[in-house]
Structure 1
Amino acid sequence: MQVPVRCFSCGKVIGDEWEEFQERVEEDEEDAGEVLDDLGLEKYCCRTVFMTNVDVIDEVGEHHIS
């Protein structure tokens, strides 16, 4: 699933923060909560979108519609 451009609940624009979040958490091994704080994502609804996102594009890309 791709990260939505806006939060589902509050409507805040969050899509532009995904790449930095992913880079800092995976490559720099920083704490996800601290990264979200630094990015200004303080509401639970916005944080939930980032914490529950699963990147499945590689798995979905393998299947073809015939």
Structure 2
Amino acid sequence: MIIPVRCFSCGRVIASDYVRFTEACTKIINETGREPRGEEKAKILDDLGVKRYCCRRMILSHKDLIDEVLPY
């Protein structure tokens, strides 16, 4: 629902990285008209300095549902 502030496994702060990750993905969508591919997402995470696979999992697997739940 809401992006966790810290990684569940290692405790690294990931909330700010998630915001920058979504901004970079939105930029790719606006430029190319398609969703970013896996290699592009990997490059974005590398550029952000997210190296651990547990933190990458937290960012890649998050689905933002807050807008759907908010009316209830």
Which structure 2 segments of 5+ residues have no match? 30-35
Residue 20 of structure 1 pairs with residue 20 of structure 2 = yes
What is the distance in 1 between the residues matched to 2:16 and 2:67?
Answer: 21
What number of residue pairs does the alignment pair up?
Answer: 63
Which structure 1 segments of 5+ residues have no match? none
Q: How does 1:46-57 map to 2 (within 5 A)?
A: 46-57=55-66
Higher helix share: 2
The TM-score normalised by the length of structure 1 is: 0.85
User: Which residue of the other structure, out of 49, 58, 65, is the alignment partner of 2:67?
Assistant: 58
The TM-score normalised by the length of structure 2 is: 0.78
* Aligned structure 1 segments of 4 or more residues deviating by more than 4 angstroms: none
Deviations 1:8-61 (A, max 9, x none): 001111111111100101222451111000111111100000000000011001
Percent identity, aligned pairs only, is 43
